[in-house]
A and B are shown apart, each in its own frame.
Chain A
């Protein structure tokens, strides 16, 4: 297992278009998180899944955002009708609940640019 994988690494889209990102977590990890990072800031929590259940959403996650994790494996994050303010790095992380270490492992992120 090579860690958390995110695709694509970069995405440029026109305002108003829909985009979808994919995250493949570490295989035995049951929790999957999505974060967003803008320039000069730390990552901000968007939502998380435990197995296939989406258990919490941040107020940052507007109605234009939707995330899924079918079968508790990979996850997708879709942004509809993109706006310039959506431009950011979208990070996925996974962790194993109940393990000794509770740190989350991050993917390399998807950088979204809305023009």
Chain B
């Protein structure tokens, strides 16, 4: 069973517009959420995170929103740039092991 779900395998956005990537989770024990970006042939790179006690975290062009009641989080990128084109993974942490549970990823393509 997938505890972290990214239901959109791909998303195309025009340069300068907003990109919104969505993620749903089922495990109420998750207490920290992260977004990673991955380019081909590279490992995932940390982008932004949010604690379960918050509902929003902003870092430059990137904002993550958390709706605990809906078990939903989203990543907003504005303005989108061609260099943002990559696979974006939503991930969640729980327990003392702090192991990451990943979604299946969303391929973002920002068109110039």
Write the residues of chain A forming the contact surface with B, with a CB cutoff of 8 angstroms. 4, 6, 31, 33, 35, 40-45, 48, 55-56, 91, 93, 95, 97, 101-109
Contact = CB atoms under 8 A, between A and B. Distances in A.
A42 B102 contact: yes
A31 B100 CA distance: 13
B102 A108 contact: no
Contacts, number: 60
Contacts of B69: none
B93 A102 contact: yes
Number of chain B interface residues as a range: 20 to 34
Nearest to B99: A45
A58 B38 CA distance: 23
Given A4-B43, A105-B46, A107-B43, A48 B99 contact: yes
A4 B44 CA distance: 11
A85 B102 CA distance: 20
Contacts of B43: 4, 6, 91, 93, 106-109
A93 B98 CA distance: 12
24 contacts: A6-B43, A33-B99, A33-B100, A40-B9, A40-B104, A40-B105, A41-B104, A42-B89, A42-B91, A42-B102, A45-B99, A45-B100, A45-B101, A48-B99, A55-B97, A91-B43, A91-B44, A102-B49, A103-B34, A104-B46, A106-B43, A106-B44, A106-B45, A108-B41
A95 B45 CA distance: 13
Given A31-B98, A45-B100, 8 more contacts: A33-B100, A42-B91, A43-B44, A56-B97, A91-B44, A93-B43, A103-B46, A108-B43
Secondary structure of the B side of the interface?
strand
Contacts of B105: 40-42
Contact of B49 (A42, A43, A101): A101
Contacts of B45: 106
Interface in B44-82: 44-46, 49
B90 to A, nearest CB: 8
List the 9 shortest-distance A-B pairs measured between CB atoms, nearest first. A42-B102, A106-B43, A103-B46, A45-B99, A108-B43, A106-B44, A56-B97, A109-B43, A43-B102
